[in-house]
Amino acid sequence: DTVSVTPTEILTKLKRDCATPLPLLQQVANAMSADMRAGLGPGPGPGPGLPMIPTYVDNLPTGNEKGLFYALDLGGTNFRVLRVQLGGKDERVIATEFDQVSIPQHLMFGASEELFDFIASGLAKFASNEDGRFHVSPGRKREIGFTFSFPVKQTSIDSGILVKWTKGFAVSGTVGRDVVACLNEAMERQGLDMRVSALVNDAVGTLAGAEYWDNDVMVAVILGTGTNACYVEQMSAIPKLTEHVSSSGKMIISTEWGAFSNGLPLTEFDREMDAASINPGEQIFEKTIAGMYLGEIVRRVLIKMAEEDALFGKSVPPNLSTPFILGTPVICAMQQDYSGDLHRVGSLLYDKAGVESKLSERKTVLEVCDTIVKRGGSLAGAGIVGILQKMEEDSKGVILGRRSVVAIDGGLYENYPQYRAYLLDSVKELLGTEKSNDVVIEHTKDGSGIGAALLAASNSIYN
């Protein structure tokens, strides 16, 4: 191994700008706590701090839930349906079954009724073939937990007004309407006698699903294409929610932490990517830590290195100028190349961006990937510690000093080992060895579907 990397000025500066030493991570965690607290403050409408959306989920699954429940998940280019037969404390989950339907492109740009009719007909088809393992109690409607991962303004557990479509959806006629009513009307048109008993987002579904198996789960984090986190808050610490009565004295709050931006170590590449995005100035934390963006930041660094330092020879590889041509799964695959000549890095660069590279150049590329991924994972860890700190401040000793579980789901956390390791390191470094022994970070997979069905059960109209 004789080829060394020339530490170009761009790489040196990048590493300096992206550095996440402990004091910086501490500041980020503190700012996250402060912005959470500010977002819970009194008064209607958007105030300072994070959105901190009350979810009206104030009864978490206990394990006693019984009966047949459905879940419907709409959050991307697929919708998923699931049914589960719950058997209470002893039998738990007796049977589950699920199906996935991809949403035709034209429905993402069509009229609201068309989209909801399509979903309701998929649900009707699924509901029509229940086998003998599933049975609804006589005289009861089938109840659904609806996971809807777009910004909604909720005023109860079973209603929510769509604020805006995101993630490529541009359906007309839904914004400003109650999405549960939209679905109910479509189900009626299908002659489908079901009712939505809980409306949640994927983070809330994940928290409920994980809590069902482990009562110490306090926080859920989604790290996929985008990111969000939610946690269990004391009603007394939610000044902006005065009129709601919660029998448990608690409610899940969706932090919408993707909107956080305080004190983040940002670079010129982040600023340029933000300026070129569909939502400039928004979701800065998300743009620094989530899967949609990590590869794109790397691409922007490589372009500059190609232009100014002739990283890939005299001319800039033309394909490298295409935004989002390097996805996060690609930089992840490159980072799993432990061969001496980095041939996998070379072939990925060539296949994905038409880039021919020498060994020294491949090493530089890997250093760029590592720098961006280290920053992302470390900051995500600092965000998690910020949430734990906020909870600890309001409930002395209830969070730290006993076992607390953070459930994480999402393709980024699941598939990117380096990202996961940086996140875990950051949490450990921030909490210190003793406290971090009490905090369990758990990977949960696809818990949000079951979680939504469980919330339909715990919020059943028949309870």
Applying CB under 6 A, the residues found at the interface with ligand ADP are 75-76, 224-226, 291-292, 328-329, 332, 410-412, 415-416
Instruction: Report d(CA 235, CA 258) in Å as an integer.
Output: 23
Q: From the CB of 265, what's the least distance to ligand ADP, in Å?
A: 21
Instruction: Report d(CA 220, CA 213) in Å as an integer.
Output: 14
Question: Considering just the CA atoms, what is the radius of gyration of the chain in Å?
Answer: 23
Integer angstrom CA distances of residue 300 from 96, 270, 379: 44, 9, 20
Active site residues: 167, 202
> What DSSP character marks residue 309?
H
- Shorter beta-carbon distance to ligand ADP: residue 269 or 293: 293
- Shorter beta-carbon distance to ligand ADP: residue 169 or 416: 416
- Shorter beta-carbon distance to ligand ADP: residue 224 or 346: 224
- Shorter beta-carbon distance to ligand ADP: residue 202 or 233: 202
Instruction: Report d(CA 418, CA 421) in Å as an integer.
Output: 5
SS (H, E, C) 364-400: HHHHHHHHHHHHHHHHHHHHHHHHHHHHHHHCCCCCC
Instruction: Report d(CA 275, CA 427) in Å as an integer.
Output: 31
Q: From the CB of 373, what's the least distance to ligand ADP, in Å?
A: 9
Q: From the CB of 48, what's the least distance to ligand ADP, in Å?
A: 28
Q: From the CB of 382, what's the least distance to ligand ADP, in Å?
A: 20
- Shorter beta-carbon distance to ligand ADP: residue 64 or 77: 77
Pick from 17, 130, 4, 12: which is nearest to 69 by CA? Answer: 130
Residues forming beta bridges with residue 254, ordered by sequence position: 53, 230
Q: From the CB of 327, what's the least distance to ligand ADP, in Å?
A: 7
Task: Could you list the beta-strand ranges (E) of 250-349.
Answer: 250-254
Q: From the CB of 416, what's the least distance to ligand ADP, in Å?
A: 4
> What DSSP character marks residue 135?
-
Sign of the C-alpha dihedral, residues 418, 421, 423, 429? negative
- Shorter beta-carbon distance to ligand ADP: residue 180 or 203: 203
What are the φ/ψ torsions at residue 235 (nearest 5 degrees)? -55, -35
- Shorter beta-carbon distance to ligand ADP: residue 24 or 107: 107
Which pair of tokens denotes residue 96? 């589950």
Residue with tokens 């914004």: 175
Q: From the CB of 329, what's the least distance to ligand ADP, in Å?
A: 4
Integer angstrom CA distances of residue 167 from 103, 109, 151, 416: 13, 12, 11, 22
User: How many H-runs (helices) and E-runs (strands) does the chain carry?
Assistant: 15, 13
